[in-house]
């Protein structure tokens, strides 16, 4: 496999991990710019997630898995043993992502439905619309005229009290959902940071392309965190901040990977690389089959864009590997 210069590639690896993790802020920026809602269309998101899936699948099987096999071989294992260990580590990583998915679902059972981008304008705080902030009371609709019909003062007081209680309960649920989603996504993003870091150590070209793919994947996740918190609290800054923090768990994964490699010593480096590469390859395949492809399929059930975007992602990853050799 060849010697990996961790001190040379680690700075770039950390930069790419921070870039990928902080991309949740792009999705969270919707709370500041109403026009960005229109960009979050289902075809765009399906294509982006499909592209990310293609990149991850290709790099896992063609590059990272091969690196794992080579590292075990360089450590001194025979070919059959190296192949067995690499395969074992791959399925350990795959199983780990399944466990992480189960944990995140327990923390936030509704966090997946946040991926369902509506076809109509997104409602803002207290039922207002990000696209149309004007009140229905001013548009002369029958509903508005009915609301202007005189009623008893006691009925008004009771109605207002019930609405306040209903809005308060709804806002608490929205805020709780947003915070649970932030925690779930933070846990989910942890292995992505490890994957980007390890991939960049092995090959900077792989790391760059993978970081872009993960960044695309993180954009709708930032949207899922920021909007419920914004609707519940009315604070754009709070929604944006929580979304940003949910993505910054990726550098934590990178730091742990760096500590494991540096603490292993020169004699065990190849063994550690073999284990990490195999586990990371399994994790990336797990992310693809449990998160990216199912979500993209919900956006594009007719498969107008998904298959093509997966193929494009694979071709881009393959091209980057070939071009880097020149």
Average pLDDT over residues 13-41: 79
Domain ranges of the chain: 14-130+159-324
Other CB atoms within 10 A of residue 122 CB: 16
Strands in 188-231 per DSSP E: none
Among 32-41, 58-67, 101-110, where is mean pLDDT lowest?
Answer: 32-41
Query: d(Cα 71, Cα 65) in Å, to the nearest integer?
Result: 10
pLDDT at residue number 81: 94
281 or 170, which is more confident: 281
| pLDDT score of 160 more than 80 | no
Average pLDDT over residues 167-173: 54
User: Rounded to the nearest 5°, which phi and psi values hold at 123?
Assistant: -70, 145
Q: Percent of the chain, pLDDT > 70?
A: 70
Q: Percent of the chain, pLDDT > 90?
A: 16
pLDDT tier, 56 (very low <50, low <70, confident <90, very high otherwise)? confident
Average pLDDT over residues 150-158: 43
As beta bridge partners, residue 129 has: 123
- The pair of structure tokens assigned to 269 is 């480096």
pLDDT tier, 140 (very low <50, low <70, confident <90, very high otherwise)? very low
As beta bridge partners, residue 123 has: 129
Distance between start and end Cα atoms, the chain:
18
| pLDDT score of 115 more than 70 | no
195 or 85, which is more confident: 85
pLDDT at residue number 315: 93
pLDDT tier, 94 (very low <50, low <70, confident <90, very high otherwise)? very high
Average pLDDT over residues 179-207: 78
Q: What is the DSSP letter of 122?
A: P
| pLDDT score of 267 more than 60 | no
For residue range 271-320, list pLDDT tens digits in order.
888 998 899 889 889 888 988 898 889 889 999 999 999 999 899 888 88
101 or 240, which is more confident: 240
| pLDDT score of 245 more than 60 | yes
pTM over 0.75: no
Residue whose pair of structure tokens reads 């059972």 in the numeric block: 109
Residue whose pair of structure tokens reads 């930069």 in the numeric block: 15
Query: d(Cα 250, Cα 149) in Å, to the nearest integer?
Result: 56
Nearest to 54 by CA among 280, 190, 210: 210
pLDDT at residue number 15: 93
pLDDT at residue number 173: 65
| pLDDT score of 34 more than 50 | yes
88 or 183, which is more confident: 88
| pLDDT score of 168 more than 60 | no
Burial 66-102 (b: 16+ CB within 10 A, else e): bbbbbbbbbbebeeeebeebbeebbeebbeebeebbe
């Amino acid at each position: 496999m060849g010697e990996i210069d961790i001190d040379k590639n680690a700075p770039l690896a950390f930069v790419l991990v921070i870039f990928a993790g902080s991309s949740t802020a792009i999705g969270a920026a919707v709370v500041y710019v109403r026009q960005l809602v229109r960009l979050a269309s289902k075809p765009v998101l399906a294509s982006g997630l499909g592209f990310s899936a293609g990149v991850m699948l290709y790099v896992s099987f063609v590059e990272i898995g091969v690196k794992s096999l080579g590292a075990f071989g360089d450590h001194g294992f025979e070919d059959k043993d190296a192949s067995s260990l690499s395969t074992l580590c791959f399925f350990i990583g795959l199983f780990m992502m399944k466990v992480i998915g189960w944990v995140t679902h327990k923390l936030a059972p509704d966090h997946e439905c946040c991926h369902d981008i509506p076809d109509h304008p997104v409602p803002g705080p207290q039922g207002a619309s990000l696209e149309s902030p004007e009140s229905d009371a001013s548009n002369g609709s029958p509903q508005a005229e009915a609301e202007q019909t005189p009623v008893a003062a006691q009925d008004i007081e009771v109605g207002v009290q019930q609405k306040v209680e209903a809005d308060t309960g709804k806002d608490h649920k929205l805020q709780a959902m947003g915070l649970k989603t932030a925690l779930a996504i933070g846990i989910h993003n942890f292995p992505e940071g490890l994957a980007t870091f390890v991939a960049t150590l092995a090959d900077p070209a792989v790391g760059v392309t993978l970081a872009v793919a993960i960044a695309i994947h993180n954009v709708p996740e930032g949207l899922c965190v920021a909007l419920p918190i914004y609707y519940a609290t009315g604070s754009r800054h709070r929604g944006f901040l929580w979304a940003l923090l949910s993505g910054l768990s990726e550098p934590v994964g990178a730091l742990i990977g760096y500590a494991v490699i540096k603490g292993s010593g020169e004699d065990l480096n190849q063994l550690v690389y073999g284990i990490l590469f195999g586990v990371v390859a399994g994790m990336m395949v797990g992310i693809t089959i449990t998160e990216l492809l199912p979500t993209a399929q919900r956006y594009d059930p007719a498969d107008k864009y998904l298959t093509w975007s997966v193929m494009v992602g694979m071709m881009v990853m393959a091209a980057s590997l070939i071009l880097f050799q020149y």
